[in-house]
Amino acid sequence: MKILVTGGAGYIGSHTIVELMKAGYDVLAIDNFDNSYPSVLENLAKITGKTIEFEEVDIRDKAALKKYINAHKDIDAVIHFAANKAVGESVALPLKYYENNVGGTVNLLEAMQEANINQIVFSSSCTVYGEATPPVDENAAIPVAQSPYGNTKQICEEILTDQSKACDLKVVALRYFNPVGAHESALIGELPIGVPNNLVPFITQTAIGKREVLTVFGDDYPTPDGTCIRDYIHVVDLALAHVAAINYLAQKKYTEAFSVFNLGTGRGNSVLEVIKTFEAVSGVKLNYKIGPRRAGDVVQVYAACDKAANELGWRTQKSLEECMLSAWQWEKAIASSSVN
């Protein structure tokens, strides 16, 4: 099978390309390098031993996207990662998010329909659940989104549902919990541009000396140690779930045209547990302080993962220790290279 990966130079896209190629799939990738670097493609070639079939295409450019897809009509399925993902930025620049995340998805679906490509795996997020009681399963209510970014994920799921009813489109929407860590080669990983918003890159950047101090956003939450709880999933486990989703589509295991799965470990860890695990595996004492709560933070969220286990035949294999160790090895690798 030939799989098109949009956003293939990005964090999750690049790890997914490795696992797809390992599983024997032919992969094509597109990206506009809005939040990634061309060097990722060289590093993917080092890991896989093959040149990645890549073209620089912006999914907002409908004509260019259609031209590209029409030239590759033998694509069997698309995995759609390309999007902007910074929650804070989406509040300041909502139209950027609606144009790219929603408009880009519409362009992609139009191009796929024209070329008779009728299978798609979509990157959604646990952010669609807002404040829910964990473990959160796929039937949990979807409240009004707390940010334009979260809204783009809800809207795209609706667009995909509608399109799957209107034509012969099969959709797997994957709701990721908190992706962290990096490939064991330390050749690919997350490359946050500017000051990271997310916990794990902030930890590793503080440990390496790029940031002076990590602020823990609140220790007065109703949790055992007072800090927020999340479900941290290793990016390689996440990548493997995409291979499972492609297999699921290929083997027509779905019962409905639109299927949705949570991708998490099913385990909740507090901010302090993450910090302590990092210190244990890295041997580095982290400079951190307790600060005020961050506006908009959910107290605790972790996934119910039974659906993915039962229907996709997938579950996570990696521990929080492996997440933190690989994130640390990646941080050390980027510190000693010219990237970033």
| Residue number with the smallest Cβ distance to ligand NAD | 10
Is 157 a binding residue for ligand NAD by CB under 6 A? The answer is no
Would you tell me how many other CB atoms lie within 10 Å of the CB of residue 163?
A: 21
Q: Is 68 designated active site?
A: no
CA 93/CA 139 separation, integer angstroms = 31
- State the binding partner of 217 from ligand UD1, ligand NAD, none, CB within 5 to 8 A by kind: ligand UD1
Q: Are 264 and 233 in contact (CB under 8 A)?
A: yes
For the record, the structure tokens of 46 come out as 């080092």
Given the residues 149, 176, 232, 302, the one annotated as active site? 149
Q: Which of 49, 63, 51, 47 is nearest to 27 (CA)?
A: 51
Q: Is 135 in the site for ligand NAD (CB under 6 A)?
A: no
Number of residues that bind ligand NAD (CB under 6 A): 26
Residue range at the interface with ligand UD1 (CB under 6 A); choices 24-32, 72-80, 89-97, 289-297: 289-297
Give yes or no for a contact between 79 and 129, defined as CB atoms under 8 angstroms apart: no
**271 forms part of the interface with ligand UD1 (CB under 6 A):** yes
Q: Pick from ligand UD1, ligand NAD, none: which does 214 bind, CB < 5 to 8 A by kind? A: ligand UD1
Question: Residue 228 interacts with ligand UD1 (CB under 6 A)?
Answer: yes
Q: Which residue stretch of 43-51, 65-73, 213-221, 246-254 sits at the interface with ligand UD1 (rule: CB under 6 A)?
A: 213-221
Residue 56: other Cβ atoms inside 10 A: 12
Q: Minimum CB separation from ligand UD1 for residue 197, in Å?
A: 5
Residue 249 touching ligand UD1 (CB under 6 A): no
- Give Rg (Cα) of the chain: 19
Exposed / middle / buried, residue 209 (Cβ in 10 Å: 0-12, 13-18, 19+): exposed
- The whole-angstrom separation of Cα 301 and Cα 143 is 15
**146 near 127, Cβ under 8 Å?**
yes
Question: Is 265 near ligand NAD (CB under 6 A)?
Answer: no
Q: Is the peptide bond before 292 cis (omega within 30 degrees of 0)?
A: no
User: Per CB under 6 A, which of residues 68..107 are in contact with ligand UD1?
Assistant: 87
- Choices 56-64, 131-139, 159-167, 331-339; region in contact with ligand NAD by CB under 6 A: 56-64
59 binds ligand NAD (CB under 6 A): yes
Q: Which residues are catalytic?
A: 149
Chain contacts with ligand UD1 (rule: CB under 6 A): 87, 125-127, 178, 197-199, 202, 214-217, 228, 230, 271, 294, 296-297
